[in-house]
Structure 1
Amino acid sequence: MTSFLRSDRSRPVAIWLFVVAALVFAMVIVGGATRLTDSGLSITQWKPIMGALPPMSEAAWRANFELYKEIPQYRLVNAGMTLEAYKTIFWWEWGHRLLGRLVGMVFAIPFAFFLIRRMIPRRLIWRCAVMLLLGGLQGLVGWWMVSSGLSERVSVAPERLMVHLGLALALFVILIWTALDAWFGSPRIEERSAWRGWALAFLGAVFFQSLLGALVAGNDAGLVYNDWPLMNGAFLPDAYVGKGFWGTLAHSQGAVQFNHRLVAYALVAAGIAIGVLTQRARHLPGRAKAAGLAVAIVVTLQAGLGVWTLMAHVPVSLGVLHQAGAAVLLAVATAFAWRVRRP
């Protein structure tokens, strides 16, 4: 038993981390649905402990609804909303927050158990500790994001939405990478070929594209320029430039959608190149080739889904599916970058 606990790998730890990664994936999907249904501002208070319980009486429901009526989103967008309609958006946001609490518990409690039992490989303990801190930080960032829409805006600030999603996806990547390390152990010899750098670059580009997607979502930029491949008949949108550099980069609907499109084209080209070249590379093991092929397939499907979602004016179902596809592509890119390190 002692030799097992001191091993460089631990299958129970790997399974735990994969389960947490699956829950984070679910968080991303529910978060996307919350955003698409404009439900994220329905709970105007942050109560980490007491907020775990929904309103338990009609009076409590009305008290929450009255708090929602005080923010600009109600006055400018949802004036006249009924209590029953409010309950619908409330449940989306409450479910998202509850899932966040669940992720925290499913990570923290087994982490303490595995630490006490010395079942986590020593080289992975610090990484798990960092993930625990990132999870706690995510709760604070979530409220920081929500608070941006409670006084002067009718929705959350796009850049704060980008940070919130980016932190979740960064945690998702680290969970998958660490789970793979825990399952297989450290490589006896790390592959030093050029594939390692290219794979990490592609992973970084997918992550960057996901951040651009958050800006598109935060600006409701998928609801404009719904033709493709042009944008209202032009290559460059007529309203690309916003108020200043940051206003253009983060707040111009035309700019954020155009940037998202351009990076998507580059990713598709790079992903297909990876799929083709990995199949021709004699020195790559079979699993690395399979991961390279998966990259090409998933990036192509995700791009097609993005075009479909845009031209359909972003219905909730397609919008959620597109956000889920981004997480799947990130997972596949992570697996590919992890695999090519191993000869």
Structure 2
Amino acid sequence: MTPAHRRLISGWLFLLCFMLLGMIAIGGVTRLTGSGLSIMDWQPVSGMIPPLSHAEWERLFALYQTIPQYHLQHEGFGLEGFQKIFWAEWIHRFWGRLMGLVLLLPLLWFVVRGMITRRLAVRLFVFFILGALQGGIGWFMVASGFRANSTAVEPVRLVLHLSAALLLYGAILWTAFSIRWPQPEPTPQTPGVRLTRRLACITIALLCITIIAGGFTAGTHAGFLFNTFPLMDGHLVPADYAQLSPLWMNWVVNKAAIQFDHRLLATLTALSIGAVLLAGLRKGAGLGPQAQNGIILLGWAVLIQYALGVTTLLLVVPVWAGAVHQTFAAVLLGVMLYVLHTLRRGRPQG
């Protein structure tokens, strides 16, 4: 692959990652506005076309009126109110279909032109399949909101949908990094480099767990409780943290425990990133300039994300703050992956 082709293909993959960030942001808006259940059918192809007649709007609104969310939360808000929540969900689904085209059409062109290796082509086609599967997971999530006495989707399915999106985002981003920078930065394998790499691996594991905990916080609406920081109702650990048995049930059902776990994990992640900074930037650590710049960027990113989390909590989860906080979690994950990529060793990838 020529340097020009590397720049072109990695730029295309970076564009896809940027679109994925947009998808995550729109998903946050649909969740926080209760828009996710407004479209009652799943039409992967024809769903790209919005309602074009009053009769079609009436048909979709009538479908929506059959689910519990309408009767429990929106009864009587009329067709105009339905259209407001419909557009947020339609844009979310349309964006996903558009991403599929942005991935598939250039990929076919690159394959026909012989611009990518067979191995890379297979990997990218797998990404396309995973993206299509993500649409199915999304519908699996939405369908859970149609059950009796429900006004939202099941938190476990929401976390599954978010995790799958972040997995795809991370895989595409890592591939883009590997194409743009196929050779690892020349770095002596000093004790400082090895320590930084180990700490970075621990940190990304903590970050992923924190994001999953954030998904449960969002799915159970636990962020609307205990809107003070750092104490929760005057306690460092909420009094009813372990009210459910077995204990693990508190981590996915008990709102007090879910919010506390997210706070704790976020703090541990921030401290772990601080350890990466101390190890990687200290004198004699041996990291190259690309890795050092990545670690500095990581420090700023975690400060922004932590501040966004506290702001979202104190403001009682306004839509804009919740969506930005959710999206910037993916940005932080991307910076963490970049740092790990700069610290890699061995043969070139991608």
**TM-score interval, smaller chain:** over 0.9
- Tell me: CA distance 1:25–1:42, structure 2 relative to 1, closer, same or farther (3 Å): same
User: Shift of the alpha carbon at 1:196?
Assistant: 2.7
Residue 272 in structure 1 maps to residue 274 in structure 2: yes
Residue 172 in structure 1 maps to residue 169 in structure 2: yes
Cα deviation digits, residues 110-151 of structure 1 (max 9, x gap): 112212222224553343233122111101100000000012
What is aligned with 1:118? 114
Residue 135 in structure 1 maps to residue 135 in structure 2: no
Which of residues 43, 51, 56 is equivalent to 1:55? 51
Unmatched tracts of structure 1, length 5 or more: none
Amino acid at match of 2:104: A
Cα deviation digits, residues 288-315 of structure 1 (max 9, x gap): 0111111111112211211111011011
User: Shift of the alpha carbon at 1:245?
Assistant: 4.7
Q: Superposed, which structure 2 residues align to 1:154-303 within 5 Å?
A: 154-187=151-184, 193-240=194-241, 241-242=243-244, 244-245=246-247, 247-280=249-282, 281-303=284-306
What is aligned with 2:337? 334
Unmatched tracts of structure 2, length 5 or more: none
**Does the 8 Å contact 1:271/1:295 carry over to 2?**
yes
Cα deviation digits, residues 70-96 of structure 1 (max 9, x gap): 101111111111211110100000000
For 2:187 and 2:289, locate their aligned partners in 1 and report how far apart those are by CA, in whole Å: 16
For 2:7 and 2:278, locate their aligned partners in 1 and report how far apart those are by CA, in whole Å: 33
Amino acid at match of 2:195: A
> Could you state the TM-score of these two structures normalised by the residue count of structure 1?
0.93
For 2:206 and 2:307, locate their aligned partners in 1 and report how far apart those are by CA, in whole Å: 18
Residue 76 in structure 1 maps to residue 79 in structure 2: no
Cα deviation digits, residues 47-105 of structure 1 (max 9, x gap): 11111111111111111111111101111111111211110100000000000001111
- Tell me: CA distance 1:275–1:28, structure 2 relative to 1, closer, same or farther (3 Å): same
**Does the 8 Å contact 2:312/2:318 carry over to 1?**
yes
Once structures 1 and 2 are overlaid, which stretch shifts more, 71-80 or 125-134? 125-134
User: Shift of the alpha carbon at 1:223?
Assistant: 0.3
Q: Superposed, which structure 2 residues align to 1:296-311 within 5 Å?
A: 296-311=299-314
Amino acid at match of 2:255: Q
User: What RMSD, in angstroms, separates the aligned Cα atoms of the two structures?
Assistant: 2.0
Once structures 1 and 2 are overlaid, which stretch shifts more, 91-100 or 238-247? 238-247
**Does the 8 Å contact 2:185/2:342 carry over to 1?**
no
**Does the 8 Å contact 1:191/1:342 carry over to 2?**
no
For 2:64 and 2:258, locate their aligned partners in 1 and report how far apart those are by CA, in whole Å: 29
SS in 1 for 2:145: coil
Identity %: 38
SS in 1 for 2:231: coil
What is aligned with 1:41? 37
Once structures 1 and 2 are overlaid, which stretch shifts more, 261-270 or 276-285? 276-285
SS in 2 for 1:154: coil
- Matched length: 339
Once structures 1 and 2 are overlaid, which stretch shifts more, 203-212 or 176-185? 203-212
SS in 2 for 1:237: coil
